Each structure stands twice: as C-alpha cells, then as structure tokens.
Chains A and B, each alone.
Chain A
Amino acid sequence: MLMETLLRVLIGGIANGAIYAAVAVGFSVIYRSGRVFNIAQGELLMIATFMCMALFGTGMNHWLAILLTAIAMGLLGLLIERLMLRPLVGQSEMALFMATLGLLLILNGLGTIVFGTEPRLFPDVLGTERWRLGGIAIKESNVLGTALVVVTVVALAWFFRSTRTGLFMTAVAESHQIARSLGVSVTRSIGLSWAISGVVATIAAVAFMSGRSVSPDIATIAFVALPVVLLSGLETVGGVLLGGLIVGVGQSMAARWLDPYTEGGASLIFPFALMMVILIIKPQGLFGWKRVERI
C-alpha cells in the first residue's frame, strides 16, 4: 500500500519535474549566452501554447501546426533580442533583468488581449491512453511528454558540449570579451539562444499542455520552475533534469503528505521555500559556475 502510494507520488513528481525542467532549460539557455535572466520565460510558454491552439483551430495537421509554432517562436525570440536586448548591450545585468520584467508585462498583456482569459482545452496531441504499471494508471501523454522533454534537454546538452556552434555559445557564456577576441560573434550567439529558447518553449507547451485546460495564467509555471534552474545552476543545461526531478518529486511528496493539513498550500509554497534555501546555502546551484569577484 505504501509502496503503491510512493510509486504514484514518484511518477506524478517525475511528470511535473519534466515540465519544470523544460521551462528551466529555457532560462539557462538564455542566461548563459548573455547574462540575461529572462523572467518572461513563462510568457513565451503561454504564447507558444495559444499560438499552437490557434493553428489547431484552423483544422491544420497537429504536427504541422506545432512545427509552424516552433518556427514562429524562434523568430519571436530573435525579434526580442533585436528590438530589446541589442540596444541594451553594455548595460548592467540588473537593467537587463528589469527589461525582461517589461517584456513579461508586454507579452502577458498581449496574450490576454489576443487570446482572452477564459480557460480552453488543449487537444490531446500526445495520445489519451492510460497504461497500467503494477496497479497504477499512467497517462500516455505524461510518459510521452516526459520523454520529449528528456530528449530535448539531452539534445541541447549535447549541442552545447559537442558541436562547434554550441561550444561558441558556451564560450560566450564564459566571457563575452574572450569570445570576441577569438572571433566569436556575441550578438549572434545571444540571438541564437533566444531563438532556441522560443523553440524550447514550444516543446514544453506540447509536452505539458496536451489534454489540459489552459488560460494565460499558465505563465506562472515559470516561477515554479525557478528553483529548478537555481538548484541545478544557471549555466548548466543537462543539470536541469536532476533539478526538475528533485523539485517535481519534492512537490509531489508535499502535495501527498502535507497538503491535507495546509489546505493545499504546502505544495504551492514548497518550490519557493526550496528556492530561498538554495539561495542562502548554495546560490550557484549544483552544477553552476562559481565566479570569483575582484575589485
């Protein structure tokens, strides 16, 4: 009985952790390229979700619609880099962070104006079957969604570690000046990272939203994914899988054993409490780069 509960908690946690990891990887891809902490990552996810649904509404093939959304989101990422970040080159990290707060307001507002506030049902693109594993029902869409996220993150980690373009972007993450002195174009790397982030937001949308009811509020999920990226470290890409697993399972456990006593508050607050703890104990996270500062 306990084993079954534990297994159920674990499986639910993994599915949740995967979506957090998918959002978190969007944060880290952008952060490592330009030291920009894109707080509007959740808004990108929301726009991708609704763009997908708008295309589904035209009766188009689902996979074609998703492909088109991914392309459009990549272009949106490039557009943001071009219009907002390039004019801010050379400003402090803080100014860049505040600019993404402005971006959050704009995208959230536009999303609400264009798509409305009423919840709508996202079609089951990942299947509706339920599989049974030792007496526990597992949704096909959850399994496929998790697999999609894992494949995406692993592919990205491989990209940044083993391809030339990926290594150029990692060099930009280390130091803009060194990268420039070696002939690596910093602006191109930043633009590319925003495009990747837009595409990743689309993948996250498909992996997570399939068969759920969605409204512009889903952008909030990005804030729950914050502890994941902090736990794994802002510069790492592959590490978000472990971070997602820890936060997802932890939240799922809080939901199972603490929520009954806290009216559902424990699982909501858990990620933020964890975030505070990480920030105090190990701000650079498990795999992040520790930077020594000099005067």
Chain B
Amino acid sequence: MYRSCGSFSETYADDMALLRTRWQWLALGVLLVALVAFPLVVSPAWIRFATISGITIISVLGLQILVGLAGQVSVGQSAFMGIGAYFAAVAAVKLQLPFPLPLLAGAFGAAIIGILFGLPAARIKGFYLALTTLAAQFVFQFSVVRLPDNWFGGSAGISVARPFIFGTQVSSTTGFYYLTLPIVVMTVFATLFILRSRVGRALISVRDNDLAAEVTGINVAYYKVAAFGIASFLAGLAGGLLAYENQLAHFEQFTLFESIWYLGMLIVGGMGTVLGAVLGAVSLRLVQELLTLAGPWVAQLIPGARYDIAFPMVNVVLGIMIIVFLIYQPRGLAHLYRRSERYVRHWPFPY
C-alpha cells in the first residue's frame, strides 16, 4: 500500500490495518456520507444507475478474485449471475423464503455450479479454462429456456416481487438503493480482506507461476477451484440483487456480451486491486448509460438506422476501450489514479 514518508506503523496491528492514517478514515467517512446522501440530490434514473453500478461492482469484484488474483480468465461471469438470479427467484417465489435468504440461496447455488465448471481447472489453464466458462455461458443460455416451465419459468423467466424488510416492501428506487449499498460496502471490505489473506497470497502465487506455487506446497488445483467458487458466489449474489431490482429473473439479461463487458471492466479498471474493480465497473456502466442516452440522437445521424443503435454502440466503444487499455495502460484506471494521487501529493516536485 502506498503511503507518503513520515507515515509509518508502530505496531503489527497498525501495519495490518486497512486504513492507517486519520486522513484515510476521514476520506472513508466522507465517501460513505456522500453515498448515503446521493439519492437525495439526483433523479430516480441516476439512483437506479447507482444501484445497477453497485450490483455490477459486486460481480466484478468476484471476477477480480478469479482473473486479477488467480489469473484465470472467465467469460462466463454473467451466466453465474444468471444462475444466482434464478436460484434467488426460485427461493423467493416458490419457497417463499424471507428476504436475505434468497440472496444467499442464489449466491451458494451459483458457487456450487461455478465450482463444477471450475473443476477442469485442476487439469488445464489459460484460455483453455476460459473456454470452459464460455461453455458454461452457453449451456446456461440454452438449457434454462428448455427446462420444464414450472422449474425456471421457461422463456418467460420468473417474476420476483421487491423484498419485504420488517414487514414493509422496499418498492421505491431509493429504498432499493439503500438496501444494495450496505451489501456492496460489505463485499468491498470482504474482498479487501481476501486479497490480504493467506488465500489471496496463494492465489497470487498461482497466477504468477502455478508450477512454482505447486512445488512450494500450495495446492494449486484447490485454490483455482476455490477462486471459481468465490467468483461465482459473488456473481450469484449480484445476480440475486439484480433479479430483485428488475423484479424479473430472465436469461436474456445474462448474455455473453455482459460477460465480456465485466471482463472489460476489469481490464479498464485494473487487474488485481479492489479499486480497479470499482473504478472499472462504475466507469464502464457510466459509458454505457451515456451511450444509451445518446443512442436515439446518434441514430438520427445515420441514415436508415431504424433499430436500437445504443447496444451495438456500447459494444464498439467498450471493445475499443478494452484494446486501447490493453495496449496503452495495461494496469488500468487504478494505476492512473495512483499516479495522479502521487503527482498531487508531490506537487510541485516531480517525485
């Protein structure tokens, strides 16, 4: 962790703390207050945007552990979100479980299936493994529709009512924002802890050199599969939230394109850090939102464009961003942020 000189730890507990200086506590406090106050000052459309971004952050954090930490590329994150959404919907609608339980059902359900698809990781790696996640993506899309209608609702999906908390239904956009916020914050801190734990270090060693990790006594297969489990757990959690937010669990929300976007968020945000996942998720969702708003306006400029142009536009822009970041800034926005932070701190000196 980067600190300016003069700020050092005096005890082991100090050294292990996530937040070390008074300024960091203050910054966190300001950020939390800003997040809580956010819905009071913006329109419902932007509150919904914030909720969706928060849900995306959860899923991308999961992907960060799998890709950024363990180095296993996944192009099936949205399929695992979909699995989470369906499990949560079934738990909420069919089993009538009270609110937080369906989310957990979705998360654990997705984790189990994620581990199942992650099992080949014991034998293969690299993009061969990415292909198994691709298979997961298609198997999900193709099978959900064709399973009996009374299981997962067939092509109609499952409608989910907004959750009840202490007997009152959280139906407003703002209410759901406040419901999502603590879950997002909790996930962020949980991921921070995983990154700094034994598991996190083991995963990093697997990423950097799996053979070397294996001979130093790390059970590579176990940790790879565990990374799949954690990633799909968070994907499932996010998927469940999304089902509540949209009041629908439907396979068309969880396409391969979404999966690639999540990976793109990691590339743009930066691999290996929580900050990267958060920055990537928020910035790409913002780009997507702005392009969707600009869509009709752009459609007028292109003669003969009668259809929805926003979606392909998002694809083109995101694709370009992925490639540009890979070429010019492989460490992502998080690295840019750190550099500018350092620049501001040292100004007017170069270093």
* Direct A/B contact, Cβ within 8 angstroms: yes
Q: Is the CB of B124 within 8 A of A272?
A: no
A105 in contact (CB, < 8 A):
yes
Given that A108-B312, A109-B313, A226-B131 are contacting pairs, would A95 and B126 also be in contact in the complex, using a CB cutoff of 8 Å? no
Q: Is the CB of A113 within 8 A of B302?
A: yes
- The interface residues of chain A lying within 8 Å CB-to-CB of B221 are none
A260 in contact (CB, < 8 A):
no
Complex Cα distance, B135 from A263, in Å, reads 19
CB distance from A235 to the nearest CB of B (A): 14
- The interface residues of chain B lying within 8 Å CB-to-CB of A84 are 323, 327
Complex Cα distance, B304 from A118, in Å, reads 13
Partner of A112, one of B117, B212, B312, B323: B312
Q: Is the CB of A295 within 8 A of B316?
A: no
CB distance from B113 to the nearest CB of A (A): 13
Given that A91-B326, A102-B264, A265-B146 are contacting pairs, would A109 and B314 also be in contact in the complex, using a CB cutoff of 8 Å? yes
A136 in contact (CB, < 8 A):
no
Q: Is the CB of A272 within 8 A of B138?
A: yes
B73 in contact (CB, < 8 A):
yes
Complex Cα distance, B74 from A94, in Å, reads 11
CB distance from A112 to the nearest CB of B (A): 4
Complex Cα distance, B124 from A98, in Å, reads 18
A275 in contact (CB, < 8 A):
yes
Q: How big is chain B's contact interface, by range?
A: 35 or more
Q: How big is chain A's contact interface, by range?
A: 35 or more
For residues 236 through 295 of chain A, which have their beta carbon under 8 Å from a beta carbon of chain B?
Answer: 262-265, 268-269, 272-273, 275-276, 279-280, 283, 293-295
A37 in contact (CB, < 8 A):
yes
Q: Is the CB of B322 within 8 A of A110?
A: no
Partner of B71, one of A94, A102, A105: A94
Q: Can you list 26 A-B contacts (CB < 8 A)?
A: A39-B75, A84-B327, A88-B327, A93-B127, A97-B73, A102-B320, A102-B326, A106-B323, A109-B314, A110-B316, A111-B312, A113-B316, A116-B306, A116-B307, A226-B134, A265-B143, A272-B139, A275-B132, A275-B135, A276-B132, A280-B123, A280-B124, A283-B123, A294-B211, A295-B212, A295-B215
CB distance from B280 to the nearest CB of A (A): 13
A99 in contact (CB, < 8 A):
yes
- The interface residues of chain B lying within 8 Å CB-to-CB of A276 are 117, 120, 132, 135
Partner of A101, one of B138, B263, B305, B327: B263
- The interface residues of chain A lying within 8 Å CB-to-CB of B260 are 101, 104-105
CB distance from B77 to the nearest CB of A (A): 12
